[in-house]
Amino acid sequence: MSLTAALVDIESVSGNEQRIADEVERVLRPLAHLRVERVGHSVIARTALGRPERVVIAGHLDTVPLADNLPARRDGSRMYGLGTCDMKGGVAVALRLAATVPEPSRDVTYVFYECEEVEADRNGLGRMSREHPDWLTADFAILMEPTNATVEGGCQGTMRAEITTTGQRAHSARSWMGSNAIHAAQPVLARLLAYAPRVAEVDGLTYREGLNAVGIAGGVASNVIPDRCAVTVNFRFAPDRDVAMAEEHLREVFDGFEIEIRDSAPGARPGLDVPAAASFVSAIGRPPMAKYGWTDVSLFSSLGVPAVNYGPGDPNVAHARHEHVEVSQILECEERMAAWLTR
């Protein structure tokens, strides 16, 4: 557990990963069975044993901003501190595997990358995919996101859209002279209230979709009838829809309204029928679950690499002031992944 604590104690809020990347590189460089590369503050290490399969084991080095939760501290069965759950416990597992499994049954690419917790154009994994796509070539990938040591397959896609209603400004004392854009948004909210989210079975896993208002903006002044109102909605969609299909669905739901897509990211199918994935699930020994939320498995999917999320930690405490990880989960993840890599 000292490795997890040491990683946690290196403050690495997004954009400040140089020191932790230096340490990761320093640990990996002397290992003769690995070829180590670096781009920015992201580090990869690869075996080259000529195995018939290659897997990627990846984890991000950055954290969200501090919340008076450094340094790491042990309290019974738990370790507390920024990044213990998301995801330095998982990074510690990957580093231990890189150092202690010199002849895995599959070739392995270990990826430790920067800037996952911020905007996508800074993401270190994305940078690798653009500048060195061959580094990420593989048959299967494991992203060490916190999953309570359970395989979570694929991920949901996400789309954010703005639904705009318009009206005509007028003095609120003479409201009949205008048209209230906020009142005109009522049918938008009514459609959301009446919306029945789809449940989709994808590769044997159950994904629940969701369409919700997450923001509303309108109003000019307390004595003015507003002429514009915007409702922001977030659509979380199952990975059997692509981004184009998700947008088409939103436009159907809000037919007759002005709609602007603000941003989107595709989901990822689980790909559990791939032999390496099926073998991994068997080694973990628990039924896989669908991933609710978006993760970088989406990027692997876009590269044609099936990917799952698997790592120590409860995602419900990620980013929290009391962020923590069960020590037993770190040990379990290392033990089961090591067994899979050597079987």
DSSP secondary structure of 90-145:
HHHHHHHHHHH-SS-SSEEEEEEES--SS-GGG-HHHHHHHH-GGGG--SEEEE--
Backbone angles phi, psi at 301, to 5 degrees: -60, -40
Predicted confidence (pLDDT) at residue 120 exceeds the cutoff of 90: no
Q: Determine the pLDDT at residue 1.
A: 62
Mean pLDDT of 170-193: 97
Check pLDDT > 90 for residue 121: no
pLDDT at 343: 85
The answer to whether the beta carbons of residues 47 and 108 sit under 8 Å apart is: yes
Amino acid at 221: A
pLDDT at residue 315, rounded to an integer: 93
pLDDT given at position 228: 97
Q: What is the percentage of the chain residues whose pLDDT exceeds 70? A: 100
Q: How far apart are CA 304 and CA 138, in angstroms?
A: 9
- Average of pLDDT values for 174-179? 96
pTM, 2 dp = 0.89
- pLDDT at residue 273 above 90? no
The mean pLDDT value of the chain amounts to 96
The pLDDT > 90 percentage for the chain reads 96
Contact 295, 324 (CB under 8 A): no
Domains and CATH numbers, the chain: 2-154+268-342 (3.40.630.10), 157-265 (3.30.70.360)
| pLDDT band at residue 324 under the 50/70/90 scheme | very high
Q: Which residues are catalytic?
A: 62, 116
Provide mean pLDDT across the span 292-312. Answer: 93
Nearest to 87 by CA among 338, 333, 341, 336: 333
Q: Are 161 and 250 in contact (CB under 8 A)?
A: yes
Report, as an integer, the average pLDDT of 209-215.
97
Determine if residue 242 is left, alpha or beta; phi over 0 gives left, psi from -120 to 50 gives alpha, anything else beta: beta
